Amino acid sequence: MIHETAMVHPTAEVADGVAIGPYSIIGEKVKIGEGTQIGSHVFIDKWTHIGKGCQIYQYASLGAAPQHLRYNGEETYVIVGDNNIIREYVTIHRGTPFGNGKTVLGDENFIMAYAHVAHDCILGNRVVMASYAALGGHVEIGDHAVIGGIVAIHQFVRIGTYAFIGGASAVTRDIPPYVTASGMKVKLYGVNVLNLQRNKVPEEVITGLRKAYKVLFRSPLTMEEAIKKVHEDPIYTLPEVQHMVDFIRGSKRGVTRR
């Protein structure tokens, strides 16, 4: 059902079962998948693609131009997967032609009120962003990560899968997968055991990650020495430990270690 006061551009593609609330605006070449529910006063700008079964609450804004001085109206995108929940006043900006060209959210993410996802960000699946969390441009967030309220993440930072960032934190370097981190000068506080257990990760994997964490982030070794030690340990046969090591090796901004 499309409310009579909603404005839908003639080039927009709206699938069956989509509901669009009063005074919402759907822009040029927008695509909305089957069963998605859009509340009142929502603004979805041009070139935004939304998957199936999403819930987009009142006053959210998706697909507006990126906040970048070099952007000059080029055709770029916001791509939102299936079954995402996007709450009140969330802002998600489209990509830039000198970045990814698109801002991407995977499936089943929960983006709480007033959160901001900047241009060229990539979010995986089942990510939680609490209220007032803000991502700078080009941020990457892995599956099952949880970002607490009032968290600011610097542009180009990566947040690993299953990571947890405590509220009111400032993140300027990469946060490895499977760990908890918090603070205005963010520090690591161990493996995110609770999130791993909730997602039924086997105990032997959690034990292996804890051992790897102690070597990589709590030993006096240099990072190169610590990686070598983990590589030589039987725990390196675990794919999750390998992923943690690969994440560290692939860091461009540097990894938060203390």
Catalytic residue annotation: 119-120, 137
Tell me the C-alpha to C-alpha distance, in Å, between residue 233 and each of 211, 220, 242: 10, 17, 11
**Are the C-beta atoms of residues 255 and 177 closer than 8 Å to each other?**
no
Q: Interior CA angle at 27 toward 24 and 29, to 5°?
A: 140
**C-alpha–C-alpha distance, residues 136 and 246, integer Å:** 23
Tokens of 151: 């968290």
DSSP code, position 51? -
Residue tagged 């070099």 (tokens): 70
Tokens of 168: 């009111």
**C-alpha–C-alpha distance, residues 166 and 186, integer Å:** 9
